[in-house]
């Protein structure tokens, strides 16, 4: 019997899944490529981490691999008409409480790239951009990393536009929640089953399911009896709060031309905090510093962190304690002038974590035909234009050894103690105390 034509099911329409679909259909226009996601791609609200008002786009990394990939992605954002409308080159303003600035600058040099980038003393930094960060918290800051080449992207709009382009080129899109993976008699993965009971079959199944990945693998392990499917300690679902404020017309000029703000801390002090420039609706956005798991018993005796089940991962229900986290984020950037600002909108955003903060882009070692391409670790969005190229190389076995080892399903994983963003809390510890009845 002749081998079946390759066909692809990609579960998850975030940046990892959509980028993979786009790169596959461009290289193989006749191939069968199907994205399956629980949300319609143009829905008004979605659970994907990739669906957001805005995300930071930068190549300012102390890890030279992500620095290089960041530069590659930004080259696309700056030149390709599909991506260009969504990228805003505002520059970045990054307070450093360790040697981060020097490491980043060293990487640009190593890669032979000129970036408009330098590390400047605090007193000089305070005066930049009309003094927008003049009242920020500079406690412990050694220097401020400043440049012109980084910026942000209108994340949700970009995701919608690129998904549309993939569909135009022939990718199919199915709105369904995947309940479990399907396996052939020889143990290879043959596709997925939806909660409605429909089987969707393909020779290649790619999980780009973000924070939901460990739970989906647990359920599939239980149903198939293939216990090696489980993610174990490779992937942990983590959530973080974001908050937004609508600027008044008269406030807008102060912030209109601001760069992306980042407050960097050492691993002992905690995760870095960000403040993004206003969107077209005059909204400033922050992300907080409290990063949590939601560890639950998904099956008898099986505990994994997963986003809440209730509609939409419960992403719009934010406790007072988590709102406080955003107030803190607001104040470390704008000090007294922002004390009276009301945050109008909050969201919890869920992503998948590995202890090294590397992605997993790898065949799954427990079943042929099954691949994993996710784990953005709160930094995956910016690679949207290019990450699918690497996923495709992984599927075809042509990924460089360096990347294949870095992104492998099975590899040595470090202790997360030096990874400031690793989820260390539990969501339940930030619930407001219920009123006594």
Ligand X SMILES: Cc1cc2nc3c(=O)[nH]c(=O)nc-3n(C[C@H](O)[C@H](O)[C@H](O)COP(=O)(O)OP(=O)(O)OC[C@H]3O[C@@H](n4cnc5c(N)ncnc54)[C@H](O)[C@@H]3O)c2cc1C
Q: Where are the alpha helices (DSSP H) in 230-343?
A: 252-256, 320-334
Residue 146 in the binding site for ligand NAG (CB under 6 A): yes
91 is a site residue for ligand NAG (CB under 6 A): yes
Quick one: which segment of 42-50, 111-119, 318-326, 419-427 binds ligand X (CB under 6 A)? 42-50
Stretch that binds ligand NAG, among 156-164, 226-234, 275-283, 425-433 (CB under 6 A): 425-433
Residue 136's binding partner among ligand NAG, ligand X, none (Cβ under 5 to 8 angstroms by kind) is none
b (16+ CB within 10 A) / e for 88-115? bbbbbbbbbbbebbebbbebbeeeeeeb
CB of 326 to ligand NAG, least distance (A): 18
Q: H or E element: which one contains 148? A: none
188: left (phi over 0), alpha (psi -120 to 50) or beta: beta
| Contact (Cβ atoms closer than 8 angstroms) between residue 189 and residue 370 | yes
Partner that binds at residue 309, options ligand X, ligand NAG, none, CB closer than 5 to 8 Å by kind: ligand NAG
Cα dihedral 199, 202, 206, 208 sign: negative
The site partner of 264 among ligand X, ligand NAG, none (C-beta below 5 to 8 Å per kind) is none
Strand ranges in 198-282 using DSSP code E only, listed in sequence order: 199-201, 204-207, 236-246, 260-263, 273-276
Tokens of 10: 């990609």
Give which of ligand NAG, ligand X, none residue 348 binds (C-beta under 5 to 8 Å, depending on kind). Answer: none
Least Cα distance to 271 among 239, 231, 305, 232 occurs for: 239
Question: Binds 67, which of ligand NAG, ligand X, none (CB < 5 to 8 A, cut-off by type)?
Answer: none
Distance from C-alpha of 279 to C-alpha of 288, rounded to nearest angstrom: 18
Helices (H), 304-400: 320-334, 384-396
Beta partners for residue 178, in sequence order: 194
Q: Which residue is nearest to ligand NAG (CB)?
A: 309
Please tell me the distance from the alpha carbon of residue 125 to that of residue 218, in angstroms, as a whole number.
Answer: 49
**Interface residue with ligand X, options 48, 158, 236, 394 (CB under 6 A):** 48
Does residue 182 touch ligand X according to CB under 6 A? no
- Judged by CB under 6 A, the residue of 251, 314, 337, 411 near ligand NAG is 314
Which residue has its beta carbon closest to ligand X?
376
Least distance in angstroms from the C-beta of 361 to ligand X: 10
279 binds ligand NAG (CB under 6 A): no
Q: Which residues form the interface with ligand NAG (CB under 6 A)?
A: 91, 116, 118, 128, 146-148, 259, 294, 296, 308-309, 314, 427-428, 431
Q: Which residues bind ligand X (CB under 6 A)?
A: 11-17, 36-39, 46-50, 55-56, 177-178, 208-212, 216, 240, 242, 287, 349, 351, 374, 376, 378-382
């Amino acid at each position: 019997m002749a081998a079946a034509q390759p066909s692809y099911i990609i579960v998850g329409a975030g940046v990892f899944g959509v980028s993979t679909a786009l790169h596959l259909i461009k290289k193989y226009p006749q191939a069968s490529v199907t994205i399956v996601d629980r949300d319609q791609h143009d829905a008004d609200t979605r659970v994907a981490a990739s669906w957001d008002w805005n995300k930071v786009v930068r190549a300012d990394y102390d890890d030279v691999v992500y620095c290089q990939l960041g530069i590659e992605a930004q080259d696309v954002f700056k030149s390709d008409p599909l991506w260009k409308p969504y990228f805003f080159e505002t520059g970045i303003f990054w307070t450093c409480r360790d040697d981060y600035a020097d490491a980043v600058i060293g990487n640009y040099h190593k890669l032979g790239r000129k970036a408009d980038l330098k590390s400047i003393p605090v007193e000089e930094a305070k005066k930049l951009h009309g003094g927008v960060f003049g009242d920020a918290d500079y406690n412990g800051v050694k220097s401020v990393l400043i440049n012109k080449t980084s910026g942000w992207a209108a994340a949700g709009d970009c995701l919608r536009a690129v998904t549309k382009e993939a569909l135009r080129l022939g990718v199919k899109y199915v709105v369904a929640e995947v309940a479990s993976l399907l396996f052939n008699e020889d143990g290879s993965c043959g596709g997925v089953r939806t909660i409605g009971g429909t089987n969707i079959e393909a020779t290649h199944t790619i999980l780009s399911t973000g924070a939901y990945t460990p739970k989906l693998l647990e359920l599939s392990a239980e149903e198939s009896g293939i216990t090696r499917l489980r993610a174990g300690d490779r992937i942990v679902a983590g959530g973080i709060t974001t908050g937004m404020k609508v600027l008044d017309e008269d406030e807008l000029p102060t912030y209109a031309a601001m760069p992306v703000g980042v407050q960097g801390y050492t691993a002992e002090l905690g995760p870095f905090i960000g403040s993004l420039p206003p969107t077209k609706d005059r909204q400033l956005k922050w992300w907080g510093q409290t990063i949590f798991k939601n560890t639950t018993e998904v099956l008898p005796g099986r505990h994994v962190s997963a986003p809440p089940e209730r509609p939409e991962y419960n992403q719009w229900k934010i406790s007072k304690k988590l709102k406080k986290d955003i107030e803190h984020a607001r104040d470390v950037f704008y000090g007294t002038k922002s004390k009276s600002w009301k945050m109008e909108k909050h969201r919890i955003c869920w992503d998948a974590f590995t202890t090294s903060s590397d992605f997993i882009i790898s065949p799954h070692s427990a079943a042929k035909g099954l691949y994993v391409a996710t784990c953005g670790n709160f930094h995956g969005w910016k690679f949207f234009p290019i990450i699918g190229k690497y996923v495709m190389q992984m599927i075809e076995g042509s990924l460089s050894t360096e990347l294949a080892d870095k992104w492998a399903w099975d590899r040595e994983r470090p202790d997360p103690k030096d990874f400031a963003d690793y989820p260390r809390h539990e969501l339940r510890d930030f619930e407001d105390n219920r009123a006594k009845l």
